[in-house]
Structures are given as structure tokens and as C-alpha cells.
Chain A
Amino acid sequence: MSTRVCADADEAVAGVEDGATVLVGGFGMAGMPVALIDALIRQGATDLTVVSNNAGNGDTGLAALLAKGRVRKVVCSFPRQTDSHVFDELYRAGKIELEVVPQGSLAERMRAAGAGIGAFFCPTGAGTLLAEGKETRVIDGRTYVLEYPIKGDVALIGAHRADRMGNLVYRKTARNFGPVMATAATTVIAQVREIVDTGTIDPETVITPGIYVDRVVQEATA
């Protein structure tokens, strides 16, 4: 289905259900879709599983969603940071589940979900705690771990610019997980700084083609 341009972030996140798996873009705050997360807080969905590189920074964005008690489980590579106090308190109080995934496996598992790959053998983590209980195979003398896809019900991503067909352009390292998550969820919602007329983005520079994007919204400019 073609991309819908939403009037505001509340319209963009409408319909997210309790218990959903939500892929949240960003590496730290770079690329974090804060306006969409704030709208999701207002929308009220709870018991969520969030897949993101980190488990919130400071008190805004993903950290704010955690602080509201809406997240049952976080799947991430690097929860512990100098400014992850919201997650740290919830985790130490036993109020949130954590699944730590090596960062490259996190990305590749979502890539697999988006690319129709049923599973893949990956050398990362072989012989470590993070591979415990997972099937392994020795290929050409090296041990690989069988990793399954991570598919989201919803992906919330931040990009720099979109056209009305949902073609996305990112900016610098704020790209990070956006293009991968955009392929890996049933409903993909992008917030951008600017929506431009279709035809004004050079097709050679499109990073996420609009086929992956269901809804797009321009961040409110304060």
C-alpha cells in the first residue's frame, strides 16, 4: 500500500496495540524518533517489547516510554550507559526484562526479517553466554551460531527528509538502524524533519525506498 502522509505524530502512531513488538531506531539520541515515541506515550499502548540499540538515554525519547511503565521487555545490544538511569532502575527493581543481543546480530536479525531469510549462521558470540542454548554448526572449521529473524509489528524511525511517496533520506550517523528497521516491521512509521514534493529527491540518493514506509510525518517545528 502506498505511504500515507500524516497530519501529526498522534495520527502516525494510531492503532499500535498492547503487547506489540516495536522497533525503535536511533543510536543513543542520533536518529531517535522522539516525536513518535512521545505520541506513543499519549496513545497509551502498553506491555510492549521494544527492540532498539540502547535502552534509553536521559529522560526523553525511549527513556520516557520506559519511565511510563509501558515496556515489558527490551531487546538491545547496549543498555548500560552513563545516562541510562531510567532503564537501570527498572532493571534492578525487576520491572523490565532484558535480552542482550550483539549489535551486529541485532541488525542482521532485523535485516533477515525484512529480506525473507528464515535464519542464518553467524560467527558472532560463538562459545559465549549469548550463544547458550542456540544451535551451532561448524562450517569450514569455524563455529557459527544459528540466529533467527526479529520482526516488528511496528517500526518507529527517524529520517532527515521524505517525499510524499515515503522515499527517505537520512543524515550522517543518524542513519544507523533506520534503513534496516524500515524493512522489518508490519507497519513502518517515519518521522522526518521535512516532507518535500515527490520528484525533488534525487532517486540516486534515496536510502529507504517508499515501498517500506507506511506512514510519514513531519516533526512539528517549534
Chain B
Amino acid sequence: MTTDSPAVDTGRGPLDKHGMAALVARDIPHGSFVNLGIGQPTLVADHLPAGSGVVLHTENGMLNMGPAARGDEIDPDLTNAGKVPVTELPGAAYFHHADSFAMMRGGHLDICVLGAFQVSASGDLANWHTGAPDAIPAVGGAMDLAIGAKQVFVMMTLFTKTGAPKLVPECTYPLTGLRCVDRIYTDLAVFDITPRGVAVRETFGVTVGELADRLALPLLPAA
């Protein structure tokens, strides 16, 4: 039996994107197979400690991807999902696209880390399309990752630039996947999506009560 305990207020103020990336990196178990989405999740790689044993997967057909390539290392045949030149680490493997996505859907990846426009209290994810009339929809591998990885972590600011919550009772943007998100890392708090509701793991310069007011969501203490 576990008993509920209050979420830890770390006393730190809001995190920047590197602070969020460091938290995600801290929580990835040794030896995990991990896919980092394009954009901010890519920063997680910079915060994995030496000897983490984490193997990075890139959707365009590689395991054990290394850091970004510099100078003479740049090879147009070796890029990541964001088309940025990268390097290979010892033990790397290449494979074609159908295999790469079979790895996702087949449940072989331990964790993926994705950005988001919105996440709902039940773990629905919206991160591919704003639905705006002039927007050009582009999904890439997001839907495959969202339903395929054993655990889906989202990394995002908790509020938009205009102050609207991005953790919401129901998503208003078009969905990427239903009930697929397990944990959300934000600048103000880390949340778990649980069968009982949204639980707060830790906060950064804000109390759980203040968060609950701003989000208009019931928040549970961490399990």
C-alpha cells in the first residue's frame, strides 16, 4: 500500500526549457530506448549523464544516435528527425522506415518525449495541428509515437503566451492520440496522468492550490 503524500515544492522558480529537459533526463531509467520529438524535447539529450546507457531512436531509421554533428562530422546521409546532421555512437544500427515505425507501434520503445499544444486531464494529446484555417497540417511521426511508446512524456510550458492553460479538461485542438500521455513536464510543475485524475509530482515556485485555481482542474497529490 502507498499513502498519498503532498507534492514537493522544490522552492525553485519557473524552469526554463533547459531546466525542464534536465528533469526529463533525470527521470529516464538507465538503459532505456528513447525517442525525443523535434523541438524542445531534443534538448533532453544534452542532459543525459555520461553512462546513462540510454539509446536514442530517431524515426528516420537509426538507433544509438549521437549528438549533433559539427564541422567535418557533418554528413548529409546522417540526420535526425528534424533533418539536423547528427553523429552515430558505437553500437548504432540503421533500418528502413517501416521497421522504424514497427518499433514504435510494436511497443519496443520505452519512452518518447513530445511537445504539445494541449494535454487533457485524461491524457489526450494535441500537438500536430492548430486547426486554424490557414495552417498547413503536418503530423510526421507524432501519432505513431503517441500510441506506440510504452510511456509518453510531454514537455511544454504550462500556459500559453497569453496565459491560457495547456493542461485542460478536454483538448480543443485536433487530437494526436487518445489517453496516451503518462507524464507532463512543465515550467511550473510535473504532473502524472493517473486513472484517478491529474496528480502533481513537484512544483516550481507555486503551490498546488495556486495551480489548481489557475488550471480550473482538480489536482491530486502525488501517489
A80 close to B (CB within 8 Å)? yes
A28 close to B (CB within 8 Å)? yes
Determine if A127 and B134 form an interchain contact, defined as CB atoms under 8 angstroms apart: no
Q: How far is the CA of A77 from the CA of B101 in the complex (A)?
A: 13
Determine if A124 and B147 form an interchain contact, defined as CB atoms under 8 angstroms apart: yes
- What residues of chain B lie closer than 8 Å to A100, measured between beta carbons? 137-139
Partner of B140, one of A30, A92, A103, A207: A103
Chain A nearest CB from B25 CB (Å) reads: 24
- What residues of chain B lie closer than 8 Å to A104, measured between beta carbons? 97, 100-102, 104-105, 141, 143-144, 148
Residue on A with the closest CB to B174? A129
Chain B nearest CB from A108 CB (Å) reads: 6
B96 close to A (CB within 8 Å)? yes
A15 close to B (CB within 8 Å)? no
B182 close to A (CB within 8 Å)? no
Chain B nearest CB from A91 CB (Å) reads: 6
Chain B nearest CB from A131 CB (Å) reads: 9
- What residues of chain B lie closer than 8 Å to A172, measured between beta carbons? 62, 75, 77-78, 88, 94
Determine if A124 and B143 form an interchain contact, defined as CB atoms under 8 angstroms apart: yes
Chain A nearest CB from B111 CB (Å) reads: 17
Instruction: Report B43-102 residues with CB < 8 Å from chain A CB.
Output: 58-62, 75-79, 83, 88, 94-98, 100-102
Residues 101-137 of A, flagged 1 when their CB comes within 8 A of B and 0 if not, give: 1111111101100000000001111111110000000
Q: Contacts A27-B83, A30-B60, A124-B147 known; A77 to B140 CB distance under 8 Å?
A: yes
Instruction: Report A22-67 residues with CB < 8 Å from chain B CB.
Output: 27-31, 53, 57
- What residues of chain B lie closer than 8 Å to A107, measured between beta carbons? 96-98, 100-101
A180 close to B (CB within 8 Å)? yes
Determine if A79 and B79 form an interchain contact, defined as CB atoms under 8 angstroms apart: no
Determine if B136 and A79 form an interchain contact, defined as CB atoms under 8 angstroms apart: yes
Determine if B178 and A126 form an interchain contact, defined as CB atoms under 8 angstroms apart: yes
Partner of B97, one of A57, A91, A101, A177: A177
Determine if A180 and B97 form an interchain contact, defined as CB atoms under 8 angstroms apart: yes
Q: How far is the CA of A123 from the CA of B134 in the complex (A)?
A: 29
A200 close to B (CB within 8 Å)? no
Q: How far is the CA of A194 from the CA of B75 in the complex (A)?
A: 18
Instruction: Give the dominant DSSP class at B's interface.
Output: loop
B28 close to A (CB within 8 Å)? no
Q: Contacts A103-B139, A174-B77 known; A111 to B88 CB distance under 8 Å?
A: no
Residue on B with the closest CB to A103? B141
Q: How far is the CA of A58 from the CA of B104 in the complex (A)?
A: 30
Chain A nearest CB from B100 CB (Å) reads: 8
Determine if B129 and A129 form an interchain contact, defined as CB atoms under 8 angstroms apart: yes
Chain B nearest CB from A159 CB (Å) reads: 11
A218 close to B (CB within 8 Å)? no
Chain A nearest CB from B187 CB (Å) reads: 25
Q: How far is the CA of A103 from the CA of B174 in the complex (A)?
A: 17
Q: How far is the CA of A144 from the CA of B140 in the complex (A)?
A: 19
Residues 102-130 of B, flagged 1 when their CB comes within 8 A of A and 0 if not, give: 10110000000000000000000000010
A148 close to B (CB within 8 Å)? no
Determine if A122 and B141 form an interchain contact, defined as CB atoms under 8 angstroms apart: no
A152 close to B (CB within 8 Å)? no
Q: How far is the CA of A122 from the CA of B104 in the complex (A)?
A: 12
Instruction: Report A79-103 residues with CB < 8 Å from chain B CB.
Output: 79-81, 87-88, 91-92, 98, 100-103
The residues of A with any CB-CB pair to B shorter than 8 Å are 27-31, 53, 57, 77-81, 87-88, 91-92, 98, 100-108, 110-111, 122-130, 160, 170-180, 207
Nearest 5 Cβ contacts at the A-B interface: A104-B101, A104-B144, A28-B83, A107-B97, A174-B77
